[in-house]
Amino acid sequence: MKYRTIGTSSTTRREVSVLSLGAMLFGTATDEATSFAILDRYVEAGGTFVDTANNYAFWVGGTQGGESEALVGRWRRSRGVGREVVIASKVGGRPSRPTTTFINDLEGLSAPVIREQAERSRERLGVETIDLYYAHLEDAKTPVDETVEAFAELVADGTVGLVGASNHWIWRVERARRVAAAAGLPGYEVLQYHHSYLRMRTDMPSLRSADGNLGVVSGDHLSYLRDDPRLTLVGYSPLLGGAYVRPDKPLDPEHDHPGTPARLAALREVAADAGATLNQVVLAWMIGAEVPAIPLVGASSVAQLDESLAAVDLELTAEQRAKLDAAM
C-alpha cells in the first residue's frame, strides 16, 4: 500500500492509503458477512481510509439512512479497530422522511443539523472523533457563515478532525473557505466529487440543479486544485459502477460525447500494454495524475476489492500516461 497526507494542521492532518474504501452499501445491499470480509481484506492490505455517510443507503430499504455507519461501527468494535483506520462521514444529504427515491427535501447544513447529526454518526460508528466530516450536498438556504462556524465548533471540541465538501459548486467551496480563513477557522481541506478517466458532461440538468451536475469534477475543479495543492481530491465512482468492464452496464448519458470513444481506445491500448485491467489503469491514472486523486472504490466482493488493490502497485510509464492524457 502507498500513503499520502490529508489536511494541513499538525493536530488534525492524517496519513491515509491512496485507495479509499466506500462503505455505501454495507449493511443493506451488501450483507454483513460480506461487508466484514471486504473491510478485513482492505485493512489486511494496508488500507486505512473508509468512507460512509449518515444517509447511506436510505434508497435500498426505504429508510433515512445510517445502516452503513452502523455496520462500520459493528465491524470496528468486533475487530478492535481504533484510529489507525481513518473514518470519513458526511452530513447534509439525509432525507427528511423514509424514502426509496432521491428527493430535494433534505436535512441541509444548518448548525443544529450539523451538531445533531455528528452526534448520531459518532454513536453509530462508535468513535469519539469523526476523522473527516464532509458537507455532503450544498445547502443554498443556510448562510455559509453558519455552516462554517458549525463545522469549526466540532473541530474545536474534538468531535471532528478535518472538514471537507462534496457535491458543491466550486464557487461555494471557495466562498466557504474565504469565510473560514477571514475568521481564523478551519475550512474545507478535502473535496469529494465524482471523478474518473472518462469525462462526463456537466451541463446536463440534474436533480440538484437545473444549471448542471454539481457533483462531477470539471475543469474548474482541476484548475482550483492545481492552484492549491494543500487541498485533497477524493474521487467517488471511479469505475463507473462496472461500466468499463461489463457490457451489461452501459455508460451514463453524460458520457455520450465525441471524447468518450477516443479515451476508451487509449485506455484499452494502455491496459493491453501494461498487462492490467481497464479498472486498474483508471485507478493508477487517478492516483498518479498531475492533480492526484484518491479513488474511492466500492466492492461487493473480496475479488472486486483485490482487483482495485492491485492498481496501487501499477506504475504507468510516462508514455502510457501521455497517451491517456492526450486522448480527447
Residues 276-298: tens digit of each pLDDT: 999 999 999 999 999 999 999 99
Distance of CA 287 to the CA centre of its chain: 14
Is residue 118 over pLDDT 70?
Answer: yes
User: Does residue 10 register a pLDDT over 90?
Assistant: no
Please tell me the predicted confidence (pLDDT) of residue 81.
97
Q: Which sequence spans correspond to the domains of the chain? A: 3-255+279-318
Unique residue bearing C-alpha cell 448520531: 120
CA distance 244 to 257: 16
If you compute the radius of gyration of the chain from its CA atoms, what whole number of angstroms results? 19
> Which has more pLDDT, 303 or 328?
303
Query: What are the φ/ψ torsions at residue 131 (nearest 5 degrees)?
Result: -60, -40
Q: Which residues pair with 235 in a beta bridge?
A: 193, 295
What letter does residue 199 receive in the DSSP assignment? P
Compute the distance between CA of residue 278 and CA of residue 282 in angstroms, rounded to an integer: 6
- The model's confidence at residue 204, banded by pLDDT at 50, 70 and 90, is confident
Q: Within a 13 Å sphere around the CA of 156, how many CA atoms are in the beta-carbon half?
A: 10
Give the Cα separation of 223 and 84 in Å (integer).
32
Place of cell 462556524: 149
Average pLDDT over residues 153-178: 97
For the whole model, what pTM was predicted?
A: 0.97
Which residues 6+ apart lie within 8 Å of 85 measured at CB? 43, 47, 48, 49, 50, 76
Cα–Cα distance measured from residue 81 to residue 78, given in angstroms and rounded to the nearest whole number: 8
Give the pLDDT score at 328: 87
CA atoms 212, 191, 95, 101: torsion sign: positive
Mean pLDDT of the chain: 96
User: What would the CATH number be for the domain defined by 3-255+279-318?
Assistant: 3.20.20.100
